[in-house]
Amino acid sequence: MEKMHFTRMDQGTDEDFQILKQVHEHTLKELPDRLFGLLSDLGKDTAYNITRRDHCLQSATRALRDGKDEEYVVVALLHDACETLGPFNHGEVIAAILRPFISRDNYWMLAQHGLFQTYFYAAHLGLDPNARDKFRSDPAYEQTIEFCAKYDEVSFDPAYKNEPLSTFEPMVRRVLSKDWTPPGARRRGTRRLGLGLSLGGGQGDHRRQRAICDLDGGRRPLLHEEDQSPMATGG
Ligand SMILES: [Fe+2]
Ligand SMILES: [Fe+2]
């Protein structure tokens, strides 16, 4: 790949930023394999009845066999992929990574599933198993309860026949297929930003609902807006 030549970004040329765009497009293309690598790392477990990698496969397999749509199955597959990176908030970590590719409710479910899972074990640690109740008003509350009950908390069963990762790989690549655009850039028709980047239409799914999610216990109002920008919605 060619090199960029600036020492300060404000002195970069159109050609430099075409290269920058290529770098990010390459990173985007590699994202599925990086996530598979995180899943693979979870295969080193010895303390669980099955590894967390197999737990993820089992969650996705159950969702697939229940007829859930492809995006949901991918979310199920990756829901614990960042457990090693976020000991306190692994759901938020993977939710943030997948946010540009998935719906608002799947994003929220991913971010909150760790807390919702405590319903099944918090009492054993002297904690409140009903901490999830503070999110009752969220549109994804019931969906998240269902995910934890049907696909997450039951998926530690060594006798259950999982699909292999190869079943899910093409699904992940399809869900994560998206054109790269700079963070936060706004779409205003078709125009050039002076970066040599054309930002006009035709990318991603513009219809997805954007939400500014309340992730801290319902203290702030939950805001939603329909945003037609592929930048802001993340498609
Ligand atoms: Fe989890
Ligand atoms: Fe899990």
Domains and CATH numbers, the chain: 28-177 (1.10.3210.10), 185-235 (no CATH)
Q: How far is the CA of 79 from the centre of ligand 1 (A)?
A: 6
Cα 224 to middle of ligand 1, angstroms? 25
**Tokens 């509350």 belong to residue:** 141
**155 CA distance to ligand 2 centroid (A)?**
8
C-alpha 188 – ligand 1 centre gap (Å): 38
How many angstroms separate the alpha carbon of residue 114 from the centre of ligand 2?
8
Per-residue pLDDT at 162: 98
Q: Which residues contact 222 (CB under 8 A, 6 or more apart)?
A: 137, 138, 211, 212, 213, 214
The residues pairing with 212 across neighbouring beta strands, listed in sequence order, are 223
Nearest alpha-carbon partner for 83 in 53, 105, 57: 53
Tell me the CA–centroid distance for residue 57 and ligand 2, in Å. 10
Q: List the chain pLDDT tens, one digit each, 235 residues.
A: 799 999 999 999 999 999 999 999 999 999 999 999 999 999 999 999 999 999 999 999 999 999 999 999 999 999 999 999 999 999 999 999 999 999 999 999 999 999 999 999 999 999 999 999 999 999 999 999 999 999 999 999 999 999 999 999 999 999 999 999 998 877 666 555 544 444 444 444 433 444 444 444 444 433 333 333 333 332 2
Q: How far is the CA of 180 from the centre of ligand 1 (A)?
A: 28
Ligand 2 centroid, distance to 42 Cα (angstroms): 11
Ligand 2 centre distance from Cα of residue 55 (Å)? 7
How far away, in angstroms, is 56 Cα from ligand 2 center? 6
